[in-house]
Structure 1
Amino acid sequence: MEDTQMDEGNVVLEMETPVADVFVPPSIHRDETLRGETYTHFSPVPPSLNASESDPSRGVPCVLGVDEAGRGPVLGPMVYGVFYLPITQSEPLLKTTHHFDDSKVLTPAVRSSLMETLCIADTDLHDTCGWAISSLSARDIGANMMRPAGATYNLNAQAMDATAELIQGVLARGVNVREIYVDTVGPPAAYQRRLERIFPTVKITVAKKADSLYPCVSAASVCAKVTRDAALEVLYDAWAQSARERVGGGGEEGVDGEEVLSWGSGYPSDARCVAWLKQNMHPVFGWGPECRFSWGTAKDMLETKGGIKIEWPADEESTNPLTNFLVANGNGRMDTDELGAWFGSPAGLEAF
């Protein structure tokens, strides 16, 4: 039984691991990705939707799905995706013709092929559907979660804001969105109420396993997953190139036989990911913008596996006036020479 479970776990990790020839969609903003920045990308609105920014209600009634990829990994961004198309086309186009499904049950090759078709002009997907993503960088996720007490911006809140921003962006482009389906973050009812307060005129359904139930959510799942896979490859290629240059080789190993490790799927449960983290941890700076420092895997490794502990002085508000830092003379009065060193000496009339 244990062997079977392990094999099943390995299959899941392989399905989550980006393939070398993954399609790189236009949602990959290379510069922002390498700088560890969060960004959004919106596809052009198909002309067939008759979008009207001044009066969206005149456009074709559309359904919009929301899903994410990469919530759990310690490496790489978390990507939220939205996908919209005419309500009447959702089932026949996405489910019957193109067989969209939850991205986790589709092979990397199938996901990549669906995304590529979506991005090719003059195809039924490209001409009928629109999509957008928000790539929340690992650096920003970690920084937000590690804010001082009382100001923490947790992952659920970041996810909620990313979802609302994407939906608002689609509405702002004049798309007549009538129905929204969302794969839940936390309790579905509470999440749905929050979205209904933000978008009171739209029918909203938040459900568990929505990516398997609603084709538009399945399509959003594919957009998010392919974008994350490609982003992970961009980050890995940049790191690997730097590693090869450091060890003096051009292949998978350097001249001294030092292997340039794969980081696998980026999940903490992936032995390849853990091995990469251990081998490439800087004792002070940890890792680059590809790593979520707020994850227990990274924090524990820095604290117990050779990371240098740095203690910052207490952040106490000072009640001392600026003049307390100036030197007084023997009479208890401020030395004018000292003040002059700080602010400059006063000029006499003779200067004019």
Structure 2
Amino acid sequence: MDFNQSHSVKLNDGHFMPVLGFGTYASDDVPKSKVGEATKIAIDVGFRHIDAAYFYQNEEEVGKAIREKIADGTVKREDIFYTTKLWTTFFRPELVQQGLERSLKKLQLDYVDLFIIHVPFAMKPGEELLPKDANGQIILETVDICDIWEAMEKCKDAGLTKSIGVSNFNHKLLELILNKQGLKYKPVCNQVECHVYLNQSKLLTFCKSKDIVLVAYSALGSQRICGTWLKENSPILLDDPVLGEIARKYNRTPAQVALRYQLQRGIVVLAKSFKKERIKENFQVFDFQLTPEDMKTIDSLNRDFRYTEPAHFKDHPNYPFHEEY
């Protein structure tokens, strides 16, 4: 078994997902070209799982980076596991495939490996990423998640994506899909905020019981997410003294320990950085192992603290964060 296969998890549809992914979200102050360069570095370092989204508005640059690494012989297309996400302005069944096709056009790829519902709440369809009314309020809509899921299934059947999943779903929203009459494909994954301050233990247990992989974003904390969605005065996770002490014990960085912690819990983890040395460091998590005692110590750091809470959507019926998990 090659390195990529041995560091992958088998999804419930038979495909394999690398357990360590490279995140490509960047705030508006980061040049899009920098995201493309970082993606090329990540592939050179060894990352084969690239996580992106229509909402990030940089898929042209990410796609170009992937194609360049294919062209120079570093990888083949089948070596790369690429994830994109259905943005909420495409949350009508007749718009779902169009949303995926827009990403494919930007990427200049024939298919993606994973297509996931970005968030469970819907907004008014249109060209704006965050459509607003005359008073500046985001225009929300109510949609049937199961109708959206059927349209996702059709994208898989059409060969536009190999696998389909969800993001930012709680267990009740997942059950809506799992209990859907005529369900053809289960979600392969649920991508959620997950780190040592929000370890998602109950959601992880639920997902494992349903053969759904939990994928962790903001695994190193978040200081640079879109300002309106990030809580002010958030703690800097990588400055946590307990994490630092464990890192010193293994002669590792706190980031490497935080990533390794998730891998040992059976979670697929996304790491994001645009600095070459950090990208390299973040990939060096397969050659050490935390002891059961250290895992318990890190478990105890949980605060059920969310860095990202999109309060604009808290009144939507599908807002996921009112539930404990």
TM-score (norm 2): 0.29
Q: Which has the higher helix share?
A: 1
Report which structure shows greater RCO (CA 8 Å, sep ≥6): 1
Q: TM-score, normalised by structure 1?
A: 0.28
Rg (Cα) greater in structure: 1
Considering fraction of residues, name the structure with more strand: 2
